[in-house]
Amino acid sequence: MKSSYLSYRLRFLWLAVFAVAMGFLEAIVVVYLRELYYPEGFGFPLKLMSPDLVTIEWIREVATLVMLAGVGIITGRNNLQRLWYALFAFGVWDIIYYVALKLLIGWPASLLTWDLLFLIPVSWLGPVLAPVLNSVTMIMMALLLVAREENGFYVKVRLTDWILIFSGALIILYTYLIDFLRLIFESGVLEQGKSQQAAEQLVTLITSYTPGNYRWLIFIAGEMLIVAATVSIYIRSTRHHKNQNFS
């Protein structure tokens, strides 16, 4: 009896449809936020949100990640596939988010425009091109490795592969967090705790800070580690062909 389970190509297709819809939904929420905080157009220096709204934004971001992880878990046949599908959904969602913003409000002006990427645990800053490249990498990783397994190959991720992937991700994360973390250190908040003077200094630094040069060489190094791991996994899978075909 023929299985009614969708082929991996259709799974990718419907996952992409979900991620596109979610990307537009996310963009529309951000349009509303920018109308409230940046009616003249988003840019740096940043305008501070109230602590209550920051908490709400954290909840929204966590909910978004849970949704993307959830569809990956539902879609995959095993734990590795669930991870690849979740990364695919994240990548499509993130790219479509910027496409939707461009269609709806004409932003960003270019791929080198700086953006506030994320708020957990602190603000992530970087040019739009950086997360887009991350998303393309995640999409290609998912497409290559899922297709490899579904076409009858044994795909195994070794410890060295995980080390490369996580090291690359941490290096990239550093490029997003370092600017805001530097402001925190300069303000003296960590040394002075809840000091009113330190808190006011941090607010002054944040509301007057405009990002300059992005650390592209470090970012590229992180990307290369992830790509190297993906290529290694893909090539190595050719040596362990399965008798059972999953396609």
Domain of 142, in residue numbers: 8-239
Give a yes or no: residue 227 inside a domain. Answer: yes
Give a yes or no: residue 220 inside a domain. Answer: yes
Q: Which two tokens stand for residue 29?
A: 């929420």
Give a yes or no: residue 247 inside a domain. Answer: no
Give a yes or no: residue 3 inside a domain. Answer: no
Specify the higher pLDDT residue, 238 or 116: 116
Least confident of 71-85, 114-128, 138-152, 189-203: 189-203
Give a yes or no: residue 245 inside a domain. Answer: no
What number of other Cβ atoms are within 10 A of residue 230's Cβ?
22
pLDDT tens digits, residue range 112-137?
Answer: 999 999 998 889 999 999 999 999 99
Residue 154 CA: distances (Å) to CA of 82, 159, 215: 16, 16, 37
d(CA 65, CA 69): 6
User: Domain tally for the chain?
Assistant: 1
Buried b (16+ CB within 10 A) or exposed e, 143-181: bbbbbbbbeebebebeeebeebbeebeebbeebbbebbe
Put simply, whether the predicted model's pTM sits higher than 0.85 gets the answer: yes
Q: Please, what is the Cα angle at 26 between 25 and 27, to 5 degrees?
A: 90
pLDDT tens digits, residue range 19-53?
Answer: 999 999 999 999 999 998 999 889 899 888 888 88
Assess contact for 100 and 188: CB atoms under 8 A.
no
Give a yes or no: residue 244 inside a domain. Answer: no
